[in-house]
Amino acid sequence: MPASTLTHPVVSGLVSDLSASSGHTAAVIAPFTGQVLHELPLSSTRDVADAFGSARLAQASWRAAGFAHRRAVLLKAHDLLLERRDGLLDILQTETGKTRGQAFEEVFEGATVTRYYAVSARSVLRTRRRRAGIPVVIKTRVSFKPKGVVGVITPWNYPIALSIMDVVPALAAGNAVVQKADNQGALSILASRRAFIDAGVPAALWAVVAGDGNEIGNAVVDASDYVCFTGSTATGTRVGERAISSLTGSSLELGGKNPLIVLDDVKPAVAAANAVYSVFSSMGQLCVSIERIYVDSAVSDEFTAAFVERTRNLKQGPALDYSTDVGSLTSAAQLERVSKHVDDAVKKGATVLAGGHARPDLGPFFYEPTVLSGVTEAMDCFAHETFGPVVAITVVGSEAEAIVAANASEFGLNASVFSGSIGRARRVADRIDAGSVNINEGYRASFSSTDAPMGGMKQSGLGRRNGAEGLLRFVEARTVAESTGLLTLPRTGAEFAKMAGLMITLLKALKAIRRR
């Protein structure tokens, strides 16, 4: 396979959309080959400042255009994403090393989110009456004002889906966006953004910058009216601290060490097949992928055997079609991280049931999907996020033991419960400390539920994306209350003396009729 399936005009046409004038570039490597895909122009802090200045001007007109206009533009962008899906899939695979199927999941999610917020923003953000303190005498309404310019910092692993999941609701609410793209995902972001620009989103309204996180990322945080960050817990904590220092709000989707519980009433082969995808999709380079499996001893032998067999039969390789099941890690750093976790576990006594080796014969960053048993607290992969194709299977003696083990983590992003009884699975799910819990699925059930909030507990983040909650983070709620003039509220001591009894009677009456 050549270093890039993307022609030079395609690449240069996309990178020309970056706000980048520093004169410096960064080499972006194609994961399937290890060769240079392109030289990405890098932004300067001046580019960031200019982008925010232009975005603020564009935002005023975009907000004034109203919900109907924004809906029409976003729905057209939805259609363009679908029309251009093959090109988007090529770029996404070439840039990240995903399989065609897992790249398709991203484009599907991007289109779904775009449609959802296009059609729901108006109803979620319409002005509503609220119960007044003194009914009839006062009328109260709550309306919503866009934050202004939202800073979005997007990682390399899901550049299209994670980008759109933050950018589109911000736009739908009437904001502008300045987005800091990871170098490795910039082409995918720019290609999907082009669909929105062609649909009618002003270019200045959604600007994209690239460069060093400490310089460019910090500049984006400092200039934003609200910040969305997706990435590691360590970096996200620093972003949150920097934002709050100026009382800027933020939503942070951070790391996970996501557990899957296999109860004793499953069909082991079926559960194993579903669990394998939950672990190895996108080579485990997904914040919500499963890294820990706790299986009941009553079904552990059958489940583990089926899981290992299916893992060994996964077809791995570089292909821009649907012929492979798993692809490549995205970078040399990812390969090093995964190798170190597996090597450390083996050195300290873990057993490799499947995988455990790099596959340089397939490409520079390929690593076999790996299944471990006997993982202990002494091993790096026990509690720390691997973010790669590695899972530890642990046998437990009961449902209660599985729940305790699943919750014994500093993270709480995603979890899964496999059971033959939906009722039982729901009861277990209610006891798991995670922002999303999937039943008989690993992550896609919750991840694809765009109408439901997504986010983490504990060290897995703050705030929520998706659903009404994902839209409301981009607006300020504003209360406007008015006196109807039917009764003058007391202003002097004498007036209070006359009206106090009436007001007490009113309170008692409201309680009696159970009014809020």
- Beta bridge mates, 294: 261, 394
Please check the confidence at residue 3 and state whether its pLDDT lies above 50: no
Gap between the Cα atoms of 175 and 181, Å rounded: 18
pTM across the whole model: 0.96
What's the rounded Cα separation, in Å, for the pair 260 and 402?
9
Q: 466, 451 in Cβ contact below 8 A?
A: yes
pLDDT at 87 over 70: yes
Question: Topology of domain 258-453, per CATH?
Answer: Aldehyde Dehydrogenase; Chain A, domain 2 (3.40.309)
Average pLDDT, the chain: 96
From CA 402, how far away is CA 405, in angstroms rounded?
5
Q: How far is CA 379 from CA 233, 291, 403, in A?
A: 20, 14, 21
Between CA 275 and CA 287, with CA 281 as vertex, the angle to 5 degrees is 95
How distant, in Å, are the alpha carbons of 40, 128, 157 from that of 63?
32, 19, 31
Burial class of residue 95, CB neighbours in 10 A (0-12, 13-18, 19+):
buried
Q: How far apart are the first and last CA of the chain?
A: 67
408 closest CA partner among 372, 378, 444, 433: 433
Asked if residue 490 lies in contact with residue 499, where contact means CB atoms within 8 angstroms, the answer is: yes
> What percent of the chain lies above the pLDDT cut of 90?
94
Ramachandran bin of 191, using left for φ above 0, alpha for ψ from -120 to 50, beta for the remaining angles: alpha
Contact 352, 22 (CB under 8 A): no
Q: What is the pLDDT of residue 5?
A: 63
Q: Look at residue 2 and tell me whether its pLDDT is greater than 50.
A: no
Which homologous superfamily does the CATH classification assign to the domain defined by 8-254+467-475? Aldehyde Dehydrogenase; Chain A, domain 1 (3.40.605.10)
Lowest mean pLDDT, pick from 20-24, 168-172, 290-294: 20-24
Q: Could you tell me if residue 296 is left (phi over 0), alpha (psi between -120 and 50 degrees) or otherwise beta? A: beta
pLDDT in tens, 377-413: 999 999 999 999 999 999 999 999 999 999 999 999 9
Angle (CA) 143 165 384, round 5°: 120
Residue 258, phi then psi, degrees to nearest 5: -80, 130
Query: Which of 476, 463, 472, 470 lies closest to 147, judged by CA?
Result: 476
Would you kindly state where each structural domain of the chain is located, as residue ranges?
A: 8-254+467-475, 258-453, 487-516
**Catalytic annotation, residues:** 253, 287
